[in-house]
Amino acid sequence: MARQLAIWAAVLFAIGLIAAAIAPQEPAKQAPVFPAPRPPGNAGAAVVEATLPGSQPVTAALGDVVRLRVDASFDQHVEIDGLGVRGPVGPGTTSVVEFVADSPGRWPVRLGAGGARIGTVEVAQ
């Protein structure tokens, strides 16, 4: 009797593991790129505009709205490592990526996941 109970418990446990493994997972949420929200209580935040690719870093203060114009030769995404910002860019037009500088530090801007570095965003406290 105890042996049958142990076997049933093992079978139910295995079914539970399989069900948990194949259950649909909620996709990771990405921060919205357009339009950039203004943080509450920071109505006087500056708007920092820059064009990339560029050799000089884009400098912004914490809470500023950063608007990047990005030139790209083919369809891909621009990503700012560490800030969770990602936006589409493409040829023939200048794409605009806008976000709130909410994390201090020095953040590389790349075309595509792990792609070519086209600039740097510096967010000062």
pLDDT (0 to 100) of residue 29: 63
Q: Is residue 5 within a helix (H) or strand (E), and if so which, with residue range? A: helix 2-22
Structure tokens at 123: 């967010």
Assigned domain for 96 exists: yes
37 domain-assigned: no
CB–CB of 48/30 below 8 Å?
Answer: no
pLDDT tens for 48-87 read 888 888 888 999 988 888 898 888 777 888 888 788 888 8
Residue 113 lies in a domain: yes
Is 99 among the domain residues? yes
Give the torsion through C-alpha atoms of 67, 33, 36, 80, to 10 deg.
-50
Residue 64 within a domain: yes
Round to whole Å and give the CA distance between 60 and 94: 21
**What are the tens digits of pLDDT across the range 11-21?**
999 998 898 88
In a domain, 33, yes or no: no
List C-alpha distances in Å: 32 to 3, 5, 14, 16, 107: 55, 52, 39, 36, 18
pLDDT reported for residue 28: 62
Work out how many domains the chain is built from and give that number. 1
User: In this structure, is residue 6 part of a structural domain?
Assistant: no
* Residue 80 forms part of a structural domain: yes
Give me the percent of the chain exceeding a pLDDT of 70.
82
- Per-residue pLDDT, averaged over 87-108, amounts to 84
Whether the per-residue pLDDT at 88 is higher than 90: the answer is no
Residue 110, pLDDT > 70, answer yes
Instruction: Please report, for the domain that includes residue 84, its CATH number.
Output: 2.60.40.420
Side by side, the strands of the sheet bearing 85-89 are 58-61, 117-124, 105-111, 76-80, 85-89
